[in-house]
Amino acid sequence: MLCQLSIRNIALIDRLNLEFTEGLNVLSGETGAGKSIVIDAMNLALGERADRDLIRAGQDRAVVEALFDISAAPSLAPLLEENGVDFEGGQLIVSRTITLAGRNIVRLNGALVPLSLLRSVTSALVDVHGQHEHQSLLDEGRHLKFLDDFAREEIEAPARRVRELFDQYRSVRLRLRGMRQGNAERAQRLDMLRYQVEEIDRARLSSGEEEELTSQRDLIRNAERILSALSQCSAFLDGYEDMPACTDSIRQAVSLLGSISGYGAPFAALEEQLRDIYYTLEDIAMQLHVQAEKMDFDPERAEYVETRLDEIKSLKRKYGNSVEDVLRYRDEAEKEIDQLSRQEKDSGALDKRLNKLSRELYAACRDLSALRRAAAERFCAAVEGQLRDLGMRRAHLHVDFAALPEAEEAEKFFSSSGLDRVRFLIAVNAGEPLKPLSRTASGGELSRIMLAFKTIAADSDDVGTLVFDEIDTGISGRMAQVVGEKMAAIGRCRQVICVTHLPQIAALGDSHHLVEKRESDGRTVTTVRSLDFEARVCEIARMVGGAQETEATRSHAREMLLQAAALRQSLIQN
């Protein structure tokens, strides 16, 4: 469950802290107030693509943090433990920072993690349904997942069995394919790999060598300039021809101060300080001589350095961008040599293993398909029941299964999800034939179908938080009330966060946040505040009457809130 969301320097937001409760959390506000910015920030915390345009003008970075209660998501424990994320106390703090320089920093409970891990974790915690997500219903490749999510409890074990068998089947098939490659191809590959390993071994590369050689080359190329500078420094310190030595002058000064040091502590302190300077300069003069002697130019060394760097550059051009990459390539090549050398010439045993796995996988796919077909009837009935509530009283949904291939042809169609290929067909009105969703349902109907899916999925999936971003666009009146009641019902078993412009939905919220836009110090700022009962009356009155808030709209809003409270109480009791 998402508990808190903290946003800094994103678009019109300077700093914002939002606290969400259990049940239905509503966000409302006038058009352009910044509701979409809050959702964009939330998506950023969930691992969505980072757009630097989100960073507030005048800032070099944007930060979003989200606090989750994951005590009800035990399935995340192995994933977090595997990646070294401490989660004692059942809390998870997600932090993501994006910068104008292009940096993308992700932390889970303070531990730096890759973006891919963030997405894996948050996908199990939050499901965001935006205004246009219902378009996913038009992708028939995703229809099977809708059905499987609904039937998760009864198909979980058979589906896992199919995945395990498919992984084994694919592994054996790939191995067998590799073994069946021609001996000539295998021999050529071995020759090439051995040559590459020998070439890298002959070079005797070591980590850090290239950097050391580059430093030496810079010294050699600039030897004359360095030696000149060292010589001039020595001349200033030790003297040269008619130029007096700096150290001699200081030594004399030390002697003079020493002659008066007995007349007071200040003189003695000055003598001691100057004496330290004298010794320091003497030491520097000696080091300058040592460094100058080291600068003796060695043509053979210079040639060796250049030749060695060229050799390293040539290997990097072939095998990687760095010495470490070259050495890594060498190790991988040696592993492949070992694998190719140990391959069995006789593939008979693997053939038998593959045939056995194919039969087992085919049988498991048929069993899974039978369970899906039985679940499809219940799925359609459940969706149609929700659609009736949502005003589509005559809608008829059908899950169309493609015929399963025969066992001899199944190899072409095996996948980790089995052999089923499904699509949803619907007849929106009575007497109409069933047709694919893309050819039948309008945008508004697709939104209601998706809400029906979410409603029945609320009892079957493990995602603790659902986010609805203005999916109520295009509905009003009684239908708006029904949609709100659906969301409130989902809120009894899942946390729901809903961005809405409809007063019927806003009134049903367990908590209500108002998104506002104002000017501060000459800049536009988006703020969000939590509303108490009287503030909710004013906001819902605005939503009812537009710009005209009257006593009548306030009275109507108050009545809506009281009725909504009674409805929420009845949902709790039921």
Mean pLDDT of 386-414: 90
Sheet strand arrangement including 523-530:
126-129, 465-469, 495-499, 24-28, 511-520, 523-530
* Cα torsion through 379, 385, 387, 390, rounded to 10: -150
Asked if 181 contacts 391 with a C-beta cutoff of 8 angstroms, the reply is: no
Beta partners for residue 55, in sequence order: 10
Mean pLDDT of 253-261: 81
Least confident of 52-61, 224-233, 268-277: 224-233
The amino acid present at 540, given as its one-letter code, is I
Q: Give yes or no for residue 400 having a pLDDT over 70.
A: yes
Asked if 392 contacts 428 with a C-beta cutoff of 8 angstroms, the reply is: yes
| E strand or H helix at 466 | strand 465-469
Reported as a single tens digit per residue, the pLDDT across 62-111 is 999 999 998 888 888 888 988 988 887 889 999 999 999 889 999 999 99
Strand spans (E) along 22-72: 24-28, 61-69
Residue with tokens 């025969």: 406
Question: What is residue 131's predicted lDDT score, i.e. its pLDDT?
Answer: 56
Would you place residue 345 in the very low, low, confident or very high pLDDT band (cuts 50, 70, 90)? low
Mean pLDDT of 13-26: 92
Q: What CA–CA distance (Å, rounded) separates 223 from 218?
A: 8
Higher pLDDT, 335 or 290: 335
Would you place residue 443 in the very low, low, confident or very high pLDDT band (cuts 50, 70, 90)? low
Least confident of 176-190, 349-363, 382-396: 176-190
Higher pLDDT, 215 or 424: 424
Mean pLDDT of 279-298: 77
For residue 106, which of 119, 96, 92, 93 has the smallest C-alpha distance? 96
Angstrom CA distances, 319 to 435, 525, 571, stand at 55, 52, 65
For residue 423, which of 359, 378, 380 has the smallest C-alpha distance? 380
Q: Give yes or no for residue 452 having a pLDDT over 70.
A: yes
Mean pLDDT of 468-483: 77
Reported as a single tens digit per residue, the pLDDT across 113-125 is 999 999 989 888 8
Cβ atoms < 10 Å from Cβ of 130: 16
Question: What is residue 492's predicted lDDT score, i.e. its pLDDT?
Answer: 85
Question: What is residue 237's predicted lDDT score, i.e. its pLDDT?
Answer: 76
SS3 state at 525: strand
Q: Give yes or no for residue 340 having a pLDDT over 60.
A: yes
Structure tokens at 459: 């009892």
Question: What is residue 149's predicted lDDT score, i.e. its pLDDT?
Answer: 86
Q: What CA–CA distance (Å, rounded) separates 366 from 13?
A: 54
Mean pLDDT of 130-140: 66
* Cα torsion through 338, 344, 345, 348, rounded to 10: -160
Q: What CA–CA distance (Å, rounded) separates 555 from 557?
A: 5
Would you place residue 181 in the very low, low, confident or very high pLDDT band (cuts 50, 70, 90)? low
Higher pLDDT, 255 or 413: 413
Would you place residue 248 in the very low, low, confident or very high pLDDT band (cuts 50, 70, 90)? confident
Q: Cα–chain-centroid distance for residue 243? A: 68
Mean pLDDT of 394-421: 92
Question: What is residue 547's predicted lDDT score, i.e. its pLDDT?
Answer: 62
Specify the DSSP class assigned to residue 133.
G
CA angle 489, 494, 497 (to 5 degrees): 85
Asked if 18 contacts 528 with a C-beta cutoff of 8 angstroms, the reply is: yes
Specify the DSSP class assigned to residue 240.
B
| Angle separating helix axes 443-457 and 477-490, nearest 10 degrees | 30
Q: Give yes or no for residue 402 having a pLDDT over 80.
A: yes
Higher pLDDT, 232 or 442: 232
In the chain, what percentage of residues exceed pLDDT 90?
Answer: 35
Strands 495-499 and 465-469: parallel
Least confident of 115-129, 155-169, 281-295, 363-377: 281-295
Beta partners for residue 64, in sequence order: 7, 96
Q: What CA–CA distance (Å, rounded) separates 266 from 272?
A: 10
